[in-house]
Amino acid sequence: MTMDLTPIPSQTAGPYLHLGLTDKWSLSRVAGDGTKGQRVWLTFRVLDGEGMPVPDAMIELWQADSEGNYPHPDGSADSTAFLGFGRLATAEDGSCTFETIRPGRVPGPGGTVQSPHINVSILGRGILKRLSTRLYFTGEPANAADPVLALVPEVRRATLLAVPDPARPGHWTFDAHLRGKRETVFFDV
Amino acid sequence: MIQTKRNNPTETIAGFRRHEPGTQPDYLYPAYRGTRLRAPSQPLVFLPHTISEVTGPVFGHSEIRQEDHDLTIQHPGVPLGERIIVSGRVLDGDGHAVSNSLIEIWQANAAGRYAHSKDDHPAPLDPNFTGAGRTLTDKDGFYSFVTVKPGAYPWRNHDNAWRPAHIHFSLFGPAFVTRLITQMYFPGDPLFAYDPIMQSIPDEKARQRLISKFDLETTKPDWALGYRFDIVLRGRESTPFER
């Protein structure tokens, strides 16, 4: 008998994802104490097609360390304090805040080097399969030559840029508009 | 082999295979009302896989306790309902075991009520059932949970809307692009045809992949019914070396 090796379908995480995923197992600190690099606080806001906050979503992050190494089992990230992974449920105002370090640059296709970025998943009620996007940093000179940003229509690139908070150094905000005029760019991965 | 060293930037990355048409839901499925304001309207930007996509976290391994995979022993008393064993194997699209990988589940109790502050369905809570579990696959990709069969429950998507009984599954697999959240259903549920969440998957054969099978082999005499739920995650494209 030949086995069916087609991947199984995705389904929504539903409104009660907290029960299994974030009540006990959320992770707001992507980089623990002693991790090398510039410490940053990233506040995400998830908004729906009418601009209303999405209070029951979950955000997951995956990023390289400050030297551009992913803490993958086959990788070479140098610190066990650095998980590179975080996940949080959004609050009633659609927001959640991670503490991490600014990632380094990692290789891109064809000998290119990618600009510092954080890989972002959004899951939750009304989201039938994982939404994938990326966070880049406003003002980063390497953005101009980033091979992934180059795939995005120029008028929409700004949706991927976190904005620094002028009042609080190290704090950045990223609005994820799931739908509508200001819709964030999502990737087919 | 995955290299994350920056001093080897020209290495070819073997990406993960894309899904066949119809085997996954689209984002927008208007019959499921929640998608109407939460599904992107712009086309997705196709992203060739880079090191960022083919690596992924190792999460939750150190904190798993033995009782985490048995949802019936997490409280002083025994939960009400039909005790079941849900087990299976996690494979990638090439048939290789996905070993030592975190699986998290959550579900309603036997009466169809979640132990969640936002669930106001007037069915009883069970003080002996929380409905959350986690485990790691073993070296051959096998996993097993002991729980009670969840009840169906109403939701407000449309008039007289009921969800078929299901268990939520969260899997990581080897990469950030293999991350998957889904739901496992039970065979023969009369609510399938009326459920827009399940029907959002276009291909009938693909929907069947989310229905567990009753399994006499894993049924424990005088103790619990066995349901088998095998899970296939995405497999890798072959690298130039492997061709």
Please tell me the distance from the alpha carbon of residue B146 to that of residue B128, in angstroms, as a whole number. Answer: 14
> What pLDDT, on the 0 to 100 scale, is given for residue A155?
96
Contact across the interface for A11 and B23, Cβ inside 8 Å: no
Please tell me the distance from the alpha carbon of residue B29 to that of residue B32, in angstroms, as a whole number. Answer: 6
A100 at the B interface (CB within 8 A)?
A: no
Nearest CA in chain B to A75: B4
Which three-class secondary structure state does DSSP give residue B240? coil
Contact across the interface for B181 and A123, Cβ inside 8 Å: yes
pLDDT tens-digit profile of B12-41?
Answer: 788 999 999 999 999 999 999 999 999 999
Q: What angle do CA A138, A142, A146 make, to 5 degrees?
A: 100
Contact across the interface for B206 and A6, Cβ inside 8 Å: yes
In this prediction, residues A112-141 reach a mean pLDDT of: 98
Indicate the residue type of B122.
P
In this prediction, residues B111-115 reach a mean pLDDT of: 98
Q: Is the residue at B22 inside a domain? A: no
Please tell me the distance from the alpha carbon of residue A177 to that of residue A54, in angstroms, as a whole number. Answer: 10
Indicate the residue type of A84.
G
Instruction: Give B8 to chain A, closest Cα distance, Å.
Output: 8
Q: Which residues contact A79 (CB under 8 A, 6 or more apart)?
A: A32, A34, A35, A36, A65
Q: Is the residue at B11 inside a domain? A: no
Chain B residues with CB under 8 Å of A24 CB are 132
- Tallying the residues shown for chain B, one arrives at 243
Average pLDDT, chain B: 93
Of A10, A11, A185, the CB nearest to B45: A185
> What pLDDT, on the 0 to 100 scale, is given for residue B3?
41
Q: Is the residue at B173 inside a domain? A: yes
Q: Domain count of chain B?
A: 1
CATH number of domain containing B174: 2.60.130.10
Domain boundaries, chain A: 27-177
Q: Is the residue at B24 inside a domain? A: no
Contact across the interface for B4 and A72, Cβ inside 8 Å: yes
Chain A residues with CB under 8 Å of B50 CB are 106-109, 114, 147-148
SS3 content of chain B, % helix, strand, coil (to 5): 10, 25, 65
pLDDT tens-digit profile of B58-73?
Answer: 888 878 888 899 999 9
Superfamily name with CATH number, domain A27-177:
Aromatic compound dioxygenase (2.60.130.10)
| Residue B2 pLDDT > 60 | no
How many cross-chain Cβ pairs, A to B, lie less than 8 Å apart?
267
B211 DSSP 8-state letter: B
Instruction: Give A167 to chain B, closest Cα distance, Å.
Output: 31
Nearest CA in chain B to A153: B45
Contact across the interface for A12 and B179, Cβ inside 8 Å: no
